[in-house]
Amino acid sequence: MDDLLSILSDLHPDVDFTTEENLMDDGILDSFDIVSIISEIGDVFDVIIGANEITPENFNSAEALYALIEKKMDEE
What residue ranges bind other proteins (CB under 8 A)? 10-14, 24, 27, 29-32, 34-36, 38-39, 49-52, 54-56, 59
Smallest distance, Å, CB 66 to other proteins? 19
Smallest distance, Å, CB 42 to other proteins? 10
- Which of 16, 27, 31, 30 has the alpha carbon at shortest distance from 63? 16
Nearer to other proteins, 50 or 75 (CB): 50
Specify burial of residue 8 (Cβ count, 10 A radius: 0-12, 13-18, 19+): buried
